[in-house]
Amino acid sequence: MECGSDGFIEREKLMQEQDSSTPELQHSDTPMLQNSNSPTLQPSSTPALQHSSSPVVSPVVSLVSLGCAKNTVDSELILGRFVESGWLISEEPADSDICLVNTCGFIEDAREEAASVLHELKAAGGPKAIVALGCLVKRAADAPETDHFLEAADARATFADYSRLPEICAKLLGSSRGFTTSGEKFAGPASSIQEPMGYTEFLTQPRLRTGSPHAAYLKISEGCSNPCTFCSIPKIRGKQISRPMDDIVNEARSLIEAGAIEISLIAQDTTAYGKEWDGELHLKRLLERLRDEVEGNVWFRLMYACPQHLTRDVLEVMASDPRFCPYIDMPLQHISDKMLDVMGRQLTKFQTLEKLDLIREVLPDCAIRTAFIVGHPGETEADFNELLEFVKEGRFTHAGVFTYSAEPGTLSAKMGDDVPAEVKEERRALLMEAQREASAAHCAAQVGKTVEVMIDGAGEEGLIARSQHEAPEVDGVFFLPEFEDAIPGDRYDVEITSSADYDFFAE
């Protein structure tokens, strides 16, 4: 099946080309297939499969996507491959022949979630096979002690298999030859299956959007080359590989043509974009090209920035166009010099404070989201108190706090986990309370102001919206009274009438 000149295959066309004896897909106003010189499927918005007494000709696949937005993009690309290969998509695993689970394996909690989902799917029955994908599959290959988290999967596929998953799953349905079960290692494709394409090429393939049509993620690189001692991402995803700039610009255009009016740039480290090419940072040039070559009243949002790679020239480009959200997601992890060194963070407390001051200088109204880890090996009470006082200063609009978990194969895991679990939880609670108080004060200071918000959808008691200061899925929201004709993606100027710890009420 070929994409049209605009790079998209609308679902109506896909349905028309299905054999009339196959089950029909219900209409929904969400997913469409587009070239990834184009754009997503969350379970709530995937096309549902209607039951029919007619014989099923096309096989049916469902996909459960766990973890971060980067996994979501992979899931959409995978579903795009299945649609192009003639498969039907079901939002209900029980209605599918194959259920794919795109796992996260970054930390212990994520591995436990993946194991729980796999076991629940197995117990519920329905799919002929459950296939595990994603980070946990790679993790289990390198760290056998994590293999048991995948025991409920019937087969596994690696990143290299993503482009040929429809073929692999068709063979899995028809024959067990060419595959191993979850009790053995990986699902290995039979020799007749096509060679896999490279990952950056895979990112240019048609993508089935699954989330909100108005808010999209755009992956600019894969992997990470930073030396953080606690992190397993380089072992899972490999060293950084940046996408060609032309591909990113083309995909941004296609996302907008498909209805996106907010594009979040994502990677393991967006600020290191292109560094592996020549040792230089190329994010400034990428942002300039998005500014100069991409039309439309769209919001661009920068996620997953690393402080050591964030530069003045990047901030100045962001300040040059109101389409760039005054928002930076920049995980700091700690502030104690000793802990920053132990964690391999490549900058000091003084340099961190300088970076925060630089953001405020160039983007005075910038919302800053960050993340911290408590309980890393070697963290003393004094180290934690220094971090606690830092957070109490109220520098951050949004923050997340994680307790340290030893990741197999990392340098930190070799240091010995010397902070008791109950101390980690206590420190996390104290830090989250400090951030709650800071957030509540920040929100209260906004009452009476007029801001532009974008409608995300309807809640139980009205509309839910966000401003440029809130990223989708992770930050607070605006609650608005319902009014006629408001649809997701619409923007309105509203007055903030009251606030809560993290959210706003406006009209």
For 140-167, the pLDDT digits (tens) are 999 999 999 999 999 999 999 999 999 9
Instruction: Tell me the C-alpha distance between 341 and 229, whole Å.
Output: 9
* Host H or E run for residue 245: helix 245-257
Ramachandran sector of residue 372 (left: φ over 0; alpha: ψ -120 to 50; beta: rest): beta
Domain count, the chain: 3
Res. 484: pLDDT tops 50: yes
Among residues 445, 468, 487, which one ends one of the domains? 445
The CATH number assigned to the domain holding 498 equals 2.40.50.140
Q: What is the pLDDT of residues 101-127, one digit of tens each?
A: 999 998 999 999 999 999 999 999 889
Same domain, 177 and 269: no
Q: What is the pLDDT of residues 308-317, one digit of tens each?
A: 999 999 999 9
CA angle 482, 485, 488 (to 5 degrees): 80
Res. 393: pLDDT tops 60: yes
Lowest mean pLDDT among 67-76, 88-97, 186-195, 348-357: 186-195
The CATH number assigned to the domain holding 427 equals 3.80.30.20
Q: What's the pLDDT score for residue 57?
A: 65
The answer to whether residue 2 sits within a structural domain is: no
More confident of the two residues 49 and 69: 69
Among residues 445, 475, 495, which one ends one of the domains? 445
Please report, rounded to a whole number, the percentage of residues in the chain having pLDDT higher than 90. Answer: 77
Instruction: Tell me the C-alpha distance between 265 and 303, whole Å.
Output: 6
Same domain, 379 and 478: no
pLDDT band at residue 353 under the 50/70/90 scheme: very high
What would the 3-class secondary structure string for 431-468 be?
HHHHHHHHHHHHHHHCCCCEEEEEEEEECCCCEEEECC
pTM of the model: 0.85
Same domain, 326 and 471: no
Q: What's the pLDDT score for residue 196?
A: 58
Mean pLDDT of 400-423: 95
Task: Report which DSSP code applies to 43.
Answer: T
The boundaries of the domain holding residue 460 are 450-506
Same domain, 413 and 456: no
Res. 9: pLDDT tops 60: no
Res. 181: pLDDT tops 80: no
Mean pLDDT of 194-200: 67
Same domain, 266 and 172: no
The answer to whether residue 1 sits within a structural domain is: no
Same domain, 127 and 239: no
The answer to whether residue 313 sits within a structural domain is: yes
Among residues 181, 200, 219, which one ends one of the domains? 200
Instruction: Tell me the C-alpha distance between 125 and 406, whole Å.
Output: 34
